[in-house]
Amino acid sequence: MIITFIFDLVRSLVNGILHLLNAAMGFISRILGLSKRAPKLVQCSHHPEPTLACPKCAEEQARARKYMWKIIIGLMLPFALQSLDTTM
């Protein structure tokens, strides 16, 4: 009974460590340029069939990213100022 429990615990621990190692190795090899993500076809509303890259979608993503950063900075600055403001 307890041996089974310990065995399951060890097995799940080893599985977790192996999973982490696999993810780390993939990350490192991608950073070093040893392996690249395979380009996958994307289906979007601008083209009837799946394409590798859509300029309209890329532009849309860039605009969304810019908007996201504007929101983040626009929220961070007032709160940073508020945190610096001390009233005594």
Residues interacting with Zn ion, by CB under 5 A? Answer: 44, 46, 54, 56-57
Element at 61 (helix H, strand E): helix 55-84
Give the phi and the psi of residue 48 in degrees, each rounded to 5.
-70, -35
CA pair distance 82, 77, nearest whole angstrom: 9
- Judged by beta carbon, residue 19 or residue 46, the one nearer Zn ion is 46
Tell me the closest approach of the beta carbon of residue 38 to Zn ion, in angstroms: 20
- Judged by beta carbon, residue 30 or residue 56, the one nearer Zn ion is 56
- Judged by beta carbon, residue 9 or residue 58, the one nearer Zn ion is 58
Tell me the closest approach of the beta carbon of residue 53 to Zn ion, in angstroms: 9
Tell me the closest approach of the beta carbon of residue 63 to Zn ion, in angstroms: 13
Name, in order, each residue with C-beta under 8 angstroms of 36's C-beta and a sequence gap of 6 or more: 30
CA pair distance 84, 78, nearest whole angstrom: 10
